[in-house]
Structure 1
Amino acid sequence: MLQNQLVAIIDDDESVRLGLGALVRSLGWTVRLFASAEEYLEACHTCNAGCVVSDVQMPGMSGIELQELLAARGGCPPFIIMTAFPQEALRRRAQRAGAICFLTKPFDSGAIIACLETALAQNKEKP
């Protein structure tokens, strides 16, 4: 059952964090919200996120830098990257690091739900 997995949402924009968090909770998933990649790293090193949804541009470490760091450490959950400033180079970089989805803000709820279902199903299949 996918509902038992934790979705970590990382975005420096509080309205995006809260809105996306409310949507994910309404679907039955557990959610933790973080204002930065650094906050996630400090608080979530043992949280076993089933999926991370992260903005690209944030003060400090970007969402893609976080994804690359976790991948290098060998403990990277599926990532969904979102940005208000899409660039093809960023999309390619996120995909190389293993991103499940690369969403351009604003996106509709159907798009993020489909990405979450894919990411959480993929995480569930890991040994």
Structure 2
Amino acid sequence: MQNTQMRNKAVIAVVDDDESLRTALEGLLRATGYLALTYGGAREFLDSEGPELAGCLISDIQMPGMCGVELYEVLRSRGLELPVIFMTAYPGEKPRINTEMPGVIACLPKPFEADQLLDCIETALLPKP
């Protein structure tokens, strides 16, 4: 596990149209020493400073408007290589997400364990060689 000092410097962006999940993830992230920025959709995230501030993005796949994969593609086209952790409530989508896609850390099926997400975040925040 990373130390708390390192965590305190990490900004994690959460993009999900489910307000209760965003609130729960924000609480978890803050309780474990991260700074959480939450957004109700991809466009809201893209129109904010979030893409430049975040050290990691946690995004739902299925959202109204722009889906998580499209959000990933827009970020990449802008030259932003943020590590991404996808979440999905639809098990059939998991094969669509290729964890070989640059920067994609995991695709977690909802519901997932807090420790599972935190492990993915720590992997995402590891210094690049």
User: What is the CA–CA distance in structure 1 between the aligned matches of 2:50 and 2:84, rounded to whole Å?
Assistant: 15
* Larger proportion of helix: 1
Q: Which amino acid aligns with 1:39?
A: E
Of residues 72-81 and 34-43 in structure 1, the stretch that sits farther from structure 2 once superposed is: 72-81
Matches for 1:58-97 after TM superposition, within 5 Å: 58-86=63-91, 87-92=93-98, 95-97=100-102
Secondary structure of 2:107's partner? strand
Please say if 1:33 is aligned against 2:38. Answer: yes
Secondary structure of 2:125's partner? helix
User: What is the CA–CA distance in structure 2 between the aligned matches of 1:34 and 1:52, rounded to whole Å?
Assistant: 11
Residue of 111, 116, 119 corresponding to 2:121: 116
Aligned to 2:104: 99
Flag structure 1 segments of 5+ consecutive residues without an equivalent: none
Query: How far 1:97 sits from its partner (Å)?
Result: 4.7
Query: How far 1:59 sits from its partner (Å)?
Result: 0.4
Q: Which amino acid aligns with 2:72?
A: Q
Deviation per CA, 1:75-107: give whole Å up to 9, x if none: 121000000002244222x64253111100000
Deviation per CA, 1:12-66: give whole Å up to 9, x if none: 0001000011000001110100000000001126642100000000001111111
User: What is the CA–CA distance in structure 1 between the aligned matches of 2:41 and 2:100, rounded to whole Å?
Assistant: 21
Q: TM-score, normalised by structure 1?
A: 0.88
Q: From the superposition, tell whether residues 68 and 32 of structure 1 become closer, same or farther in structure 2 (CA, over 3 Å).
A: same
Q: TM-score, normalised by structure 2?
A: 0.87
Q: Which amino acid aligns with 1:90?
A: R
Q: What is the aligned-residue identity percentage?
A: 41
